[in-house]
């Protein structure tokens, strides 16, 4: 991991993933250290974010590092027409590592190819979100006591949901049984399904959520990604297709936990928030420790 960019979850082996999760556990016990003292992290967000951007900022600041950057392309010289390459080459003069979110699929890979400092992909269009994937794995391991042999139910926008793509690929290391609940228009892309097949694992596709709730160890709810639809009318047809509420959980397993990368729109009723099986806000907190582990590993400080 030392000095290597993190662009896709495919960049990390199973052993490297577990190493990050173990290190994140150490940071959870002691998140305020001087690990990043003297280091400058750049945070370039060309797309909106609350959790990813702020948990990276919190992770850096709690480890005594400095963070610079922008939260919107409008406040950078990109708005004057500057290219991504020129932006990356410039910002790399000011920083030891760049965290970048960008709406274009493949932009993080391109940035990593032109950058003299490591790039962390904080989401590239509908493609990948590897740091979210690592915090999702951390949350699953923490709540289930294992990552192995679990029934994982993904619900919602499996086509455009980059967090689903990264997590499904990573779970192929851990013998997951996949339940894929989506409208027919928003099924998991074939490239990700091919990955599952190549790992010789099973997946089932459904349009109804009710039939798989009671078999699930994890229900991973997702938002329908309005901003990725080429046609707004197509979004209108599916925008409220799933709504998980407390009564639907009455026969669920005791160990079931409900995850969501957030932000939520309508797909989880607020009555679920007080159910002990709801885990999405703790999941967001885990992002701080996991991102501390990622930064420390790439900068070879742990
Ligand atoms: N999970 C996630 O990526 O959230 P943000 O868009 O708020 O960063």
How many other CB atoms sit within 10 Å of the CB of residue 276? 8
Which one of 45, 48, 52, 286 would you pick to mutate in the ligand 1 pocket, going by the greatest count of ligand atoms within 8 A of its CB?
A: 52
Percent of all residues in the chain with a pLDDT value above 70, rounded to a whole number: 100
Residue 2 confidence (pLDDT)? 85
Rounded mean pLDDT, 262-277: 97
How many other CB atoms sit within 10 Å of the CB of residue 154? 26
Q: Please give the distance, rounded to the nearest whole angstrom, from the Cα atom of residue 200 to the centre of ligand 1.
A: 31
Q: Please give the distance, rounded to the nearest whole angstrom, from the Cα atom of residue 229 to the centre of ligand 1.
A: 18
Catalytic residues: 51-52, 80, 101, 129
How far is 221 from 34, CA to CA, in rounded Å? 36
**Which are the contacts of 221, defined by CB distance < 8 A and separation ≥ 6?**
155, 156, 242, 244, 258, 259, 260, 264, 267, 268, 280
**Of all atoms in ligand 1, which is nearest to the CA of residue 262?**
1
Q: Please give the distance, rounded to the nearest whole angstrom, from the Cα atom of residue 75 to the centre of ligand 1.
A: 20
Confidence check: pLDDT of 54 > 90: yes
How far is 60 from 64, CA to CA, in rounded Å? 6
What are the E-state strand segments in 81-147? 97-102, 119-124
CA torsion sign for 61, 5, 163, 200 is negative
Confidence check: pLDDT of 61 > 90: yes
Confidence check: pLDDT of 267 > 90: yes
Q: Assign 1 a pLDDT band (cuts: 50, 70, 90).
A: confident
Confidence check: pLDDT of 247 > 90: yes
Ligand 1 lining (C-beta closer than 6 Å)? 49-52, 123, 129, 132, 261-263
pTM higher than 0.85 for the full model?
yes
Instruction: Decide if 58 contacts 41 (C-beta within 8 A).
Output: no
Rounded mean pLDDT, 66-81: 94
How far is 214 from 256, CA to CA, in rounded Å? 9
C-alpha gyration radius of the chain: 19
How far is 109 from 187, CA to CA, in rounded Å? 25
The whole-chain average pLDDT of the chain stands at 97
Q: Domains of the chain (ranges plus CATH)?
A: 9-127+287-298 (3.40.50.1370), 130-284 (3.40.50.1370)
């Amino acid at each position: 991991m030392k000095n290597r960019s993190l662009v896709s979850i495919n960049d990390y082996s199973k052993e490297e993933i577990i190493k990050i999760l173990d290190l994140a556990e150490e940071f959870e016990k002691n998140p305020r250290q001087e690990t990043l003292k003297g280091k400058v992290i750049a945070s370039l967000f060309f797309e909106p974010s609350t959790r990813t951007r702020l948990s990276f900022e919190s992770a850096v600041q709690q480890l005594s590092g400095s963070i610079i950057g922008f939260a919107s392309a409008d406040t950078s010289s990109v708005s004057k027409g500057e290219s991504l390459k020129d932006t990356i080459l410039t910002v790399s003069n000011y920083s030891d590592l760049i965290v970048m979110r960008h709406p274009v699929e493949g932009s993080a890979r391109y940035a990593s190819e032109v950058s003299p400092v490591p790039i962390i992909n904080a989401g590239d269009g509908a493609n990948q979100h590897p740091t979210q994937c690592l915090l999702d794995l951390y949350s699953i391991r923490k709540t289930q006591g294992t990552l192995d042999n679990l029934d994982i139910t993904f619900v919602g926008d499996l086509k455009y949901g980059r967090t689903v793509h990264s997590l499904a690929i990573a779970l192929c290391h851990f013998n997951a049984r996949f339940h894929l609940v989506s409208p027919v228009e928003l099924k998991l892309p074939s490239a990700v399904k091919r990955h599952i097949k190549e790992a010789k694992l099973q997946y089932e596709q459904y349009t109804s959520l009710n039939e798989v709730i009671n078999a699930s160890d994890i229900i991973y709810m997702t938002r329908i990604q309005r901003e990725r639809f080429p046609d707004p009318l197509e979004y209108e047809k599916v925008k409220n297709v799933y709504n998980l509420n407390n009564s639907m959980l009455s026969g669920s397993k005791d160990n079931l936990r409900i995850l969501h990368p957030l932000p939520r729109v309508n797909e989880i009723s607020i009555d679920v928030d007080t159910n002990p099986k709801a885990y999405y806000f703790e999941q967001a907190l885990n992002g701080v420790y996991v991102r501390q582990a990622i930064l420390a590993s790439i900068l070879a400080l742990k």
